[in-house]
A and B are shown apart, each in its own frame.
Chain A
Amino acid sequence: MANQIPHVDYLELGDKPHLVANECTSCGARFFDRRNACAKCFKNDFKKVAISTDGILKSFTIVAFAAPGVPVPFVAGIIDCGGTSVRGNVINTEPTPEKVTLGMKVRLTTYSLGTDDEGTEAIGFGFEPA
């Protein structure tokens, strides 16, 4: 859809939404932010690589107390997506230690974050149990 915008520029929308990293062409280190140079090898040539949408939850916390305006509770996690670590919330499941466990399999999913005055819809991502 033309009037959609991703929450962050490393989320690629379309038929199969996925994350895209900047990969250093010299050493292979991957980053999600805008780069000035590679933090590992100091070179500055990068290419875009698609990140696997399937992953393993390697750490999480259930945030019960957050900054004003941030709805709680929510699950913040670190997901190992085929060897690349990704930061994201675990969604579409109850935010409890019974439902969310270390090592659980998750997959990327997207959801609407709302629409601005010009009718553009922001699309966010999270990870749901697979």
Chain B
Amino acid sequence: MASDDIWILGIAMTKFGKHSDKDIVDLGSEAAIAALADAGVTMADIGILAAGNLMGAGAGFGQQLQKQIGQTGIPVYNVANACATGATALRTAIMAVKSGEARMGLAVGAEKLAGAGLLGGGGVSKKDGNKFEPRGRFGSVLPTDGRIGTDTMPGTFAQVGMEYGHKYGGVSFELFAKISEKNHAHSVLNPMAAYQKRFTLDEIMNDMMIAYPNTRPMCSANCDGAAAAVVTSGEVLRTLSKEQQRRAIKVSASVLTTDPYEEACQILPDVNTLTRNAAKIAYEQAGVSPSDLDLVELHDCFATAELVHYDNLMLCPEGGAVDFFMSGATWRDGSMPVNVSGGLESKGHPIAATGIANIWEVCHHLRNEAGDRQIKDAKVGLAHVIGLGSACGIHILERSGL
């Protein structure tokens, strides 16, 4: 192993779901302590903590966590980057190790979101008297959500999927529902998932409509959860035990991008260009091509989003996502298993935890520790998240080969 390679030494996630008896710090502590144990190290070994919690951003989540798991005086970076918060925390720890400022870094993401309901939308209502006065960047006299398009997440991502259909054809309500059917079927094998219920296509299509074509089971599940990872360099890993070296997972690429200017990107968020850019950089950094991947965990915040990311991650030819999905490729027994964890639609989406939990899933397979849902002989995997606004995190991971 090269000295400046980055390795995940330990990684853990809590079960996703409803944790009414635990707060954010409990969940973050549980994941962090488990990740440290998995790595075979303690807080005394950690040189930097990157901590993500989106809903409580500004409250100093990292320091609150230290008060419970170990106050060693190391720098804390509290990060918030929408749904890419977890991946951003991990990337922060990786950069610190890569730069040589820290020998080991700990990244933690935790969120409590059970029962949060609809995200996005609403807007500011008028307060002082009933008089129309232009406000904000659009000089609006009344809220725009619902009158000039939608600000809701299900509606925004519905339009992302439909736009793909307008561009390339072939999409339908049933097609998107079938993507959801796959992910819910996968979740049955994942005991860490918030929901492990298989749905028939009819059940999905006849469930409550949220934003056509997304029905309720086609939306990510708001839930509680946390995930954490310990990263280190090849130089340090060489000094550790053979067992630690064997279980360590190589971070072959770690990339974070934002949305570059494109026509219409300020009308409907462009989640495509930044994903494609991140994927290009990641494949180049890792020296792997999409066909080398044994499994992919991608950001299926809605069934309509999963489709476009097949294309953005170059798992299929440009414009070919519908045919690619319909070939069965992305089912767990297909040529390119996608979201074998059940994805955000059933595993759940505790925002800041998601970008580390998807890496936990991939690592679990690469370590051959995924039990019933193990993808046989998995050597290389990719984890992708999108935070609307936008940020895209992509990590390519490889097993140690020792």
Interface residue ranges, A against B (CB under 8 Å): 5-10, 29, 31-34, 39-40, 58-72, 74, 76-78, 83-89, 97, 102-103, 113, 116-118, 120, 122, 124-125
Contacts and interface: CB of A to CB of B under 8 A. Distances in A.
A129 B139 CA distance: 27
A64 B149 contact: no
A16 B276 CA distance: 41
A64 B210 contact: yes
B211 interface: yes
Contacts of A67: 118, 121-123, 145-146, 152
A107 B289 CA distance: 45
Interface residues of B, number: 47
Given A61-B150, A85-B267, A89-B148, A5 B118 contact: no
Interface in B190-219: 208-214
Given A64-B210, A67-B146, A85-B264, A122 B138 contact: no
A83 B167 CA distance: 14
Given A65-B152, A85-B268, A89-B148, 8 more contacts: A9-B138, A29-B261, A61-B158, A66-B150, A67-B152, A78-B149, A122-B132, A122-B142
Given A64-B212, A78-B264, A88 B148 contact: yes
Contacts of B210: 64-65
Interface string B138-181: 11111011111110101100111011011000000100000000
B142 A7 contact: yes
Contact of A7 (B148, B154, B213): B148
B208 A65 contact: yes
A89 B130 CA distance: 25
A94 to B, nearest CB: 13
A30 to B, nearest CB: 8
B243 interface: no
B138 A33 contact: yes
A63 B152 contact: yes
A33 B147 CA distance: 16
B211 A8 contact: no
A7 B133 CA distance: 10
B115 interface: no
A120 B131 CA distance: 8
B376 to A, nearest CB: 39
B20 interface: no
B144 A7 contact: yes
A70 B211 contact: no
Interface string B235-267: 000000000000000000000000001011011
A-B pairs with lowest CB-CB distance, top 5:
A9-B139, A70-B146, A85-B264, A61-B158, A67-B122
Contact of A59 (B145, B263, B268): B268
Contacts of A60: 159, 162
Contacts of A125: 148
Contacts of A122: 132, 141-142
B67 to A, nearest CB: 36
Contact of A64 (B121, B137, B209): B209
A115 to B, nearest CB: 9
